[in-house]
Structure 1
Amino acid sequence: MVMDLAVELIHATVQLEQPLGDGTRTVGTGFLISAPTADGKPRTVLITANHVLEKMPAANARIGYRIANADGSWRYSPQPLKIRDGKGAGLWTHHPTRDVAALEIEAPPEFARAAIPVNYLAADETFADYRVTAGDEMMALGFPRGLSANQAGFPILRSGKVASYPIAPADIFPTFLLDFAVFPGNSGGPVFVSRAVQTGGLTQVADAAQAPSGFIAGLLTQQVELNSERLEIGIVTHAKYVRETIGLLQNPLAPSTVVVAAAPVAGAQAASAEEQARR
């Protein structure tokens, strides 16, 4: 059965936060990927923007799990997440040139099952197969300013149009623009295409019964500003770099396939911990 990627990603997306002791908290978004080890052992990996974790100084953050009750309701149940060792060094793996972080976690069984298979992360050929171009719609999940969709702690679903051209290959264009309002707390959230909501020029090239339900295009890492004014444009880092970061979990000494780091986008600001969401 083909999954509805929008619904599945909602279940796999979590809020990340760390109280700062002064009535504020640093907030970001993460999502879970199922990425078995080389020997086939199941493994759940938390993906987020590297700056989300870098901006959390304490050893433990909180990850926003949700518990389904027998009556059909849900309960928000954030749990401790160890992100630094006793000396303050980060326990996560980050991409050498991109704002991407990965951390292997022990998730509750229902969340481990909700993790999205790693093959849903887009590759360059995915964009070509779907004929993705400027003006196509993508969706994004996150917790803007630490807000959730409801008391159960589910993420807020937004959408926007691809606002740059061209957007592939990732080696040449490692990020692309998405036309939607970005707020602190959105950083690290997945940006994706779901078959159920595809519009515009996105084209399925396979038989409908065989076609994937969509793909994860990347993760939101920044917002665009000009003279301190938000332009309501998000910067998305390609999923290729999520794949590479997961690969570094297995082999930290593996050389990166990225040869030259691209110049930063003018006016870009981190879309999470640059500000602190009020409780």
Structure 2
Amino acid sequence: MIFLNEDTKCVVQGITGKQGSFHTRSMLEYDTNILAGTSPGKGGQEFEGIPVYNSIGEITEQMDVNASIIFIPAPFAKDAAFEAISQLELVVIITEHIPVHDSMEIAQYARRMGCKVIGPNTPGIITPGVGKLGIMPTHIFNPGDIGIVSRSGTLTYEVASQITQAGLGQSTCLGIGGDPVVGMDFAEILQKFEEDPGTKAMAMIGEIGGNAEEKAAEYIAENITKPVVAYIAGRTAPPGKRMGHAGAIIESNAGTAETKMKALKAAGVEVAEQPSQIASVMKDIL
């Protein structure tokens, strides 16, 4: 397992909002170790037995926390992220539609502070049997030794479900986010899986647009020894097509499914033609 383990002590930023409250209940039902929440102006209240504070600064004066999940609306998400990054080790940003320049500042500040940021526009992270900081449905996951990293929330769920149905399980699953600018990238996540004794193989789910998968392929060739199985979504999309995510835009002949698949295969990665093939390939490997 990576990032989210038994020692993770979580804060929910925006715990009393519509999305924050709904998903906090789900995270608590999955036994996620949530110790506190923030909601400016509502400090002193409780939500589902969880104390609510006005700021993370107030929380850190009272208790030891090291991770946050953000359900703050896009116009205010940068301030919330900066507050969390300055004091915590892991920050998961669920929020969509954060302006690109805000995301750039968040990513830069996180690197400077040595904080791990997942997202924005991510389904989050789940370590099956331990907890989740995210919005994914928990019933499709099963504790195991396959790490999943993805740009697509929906495909994460599909692949995880098929791996579970195949009698296998996941060590940790996370979405890096579908925006053009995100915190941690494929290479950083794959390296953590490489170092994790509980992960034996990795599934990497990419999509058209940008060069994240090509960069990951270079990194895999030089640094990763564990088996990686990949799938690239959007193979039939024409140039200039946007595929759901702001980050999935093809420009000229760069960022196409073909260029990504070619780079990954050259790095020794087995590339599935369909997401449904990943589970069967994993069964053969493991």
TM-score, normalised to structure 2, is 0.26
Structure number with higher relative contact order (C-alpha < 8 Å, ≥ 6 residues apart): 1
The structure whose residues are more often strand, as a share, is: 1
The structure whose residues are more often helix, as a share, is: 2
TM-score, normalised to structure 1, is 0.26
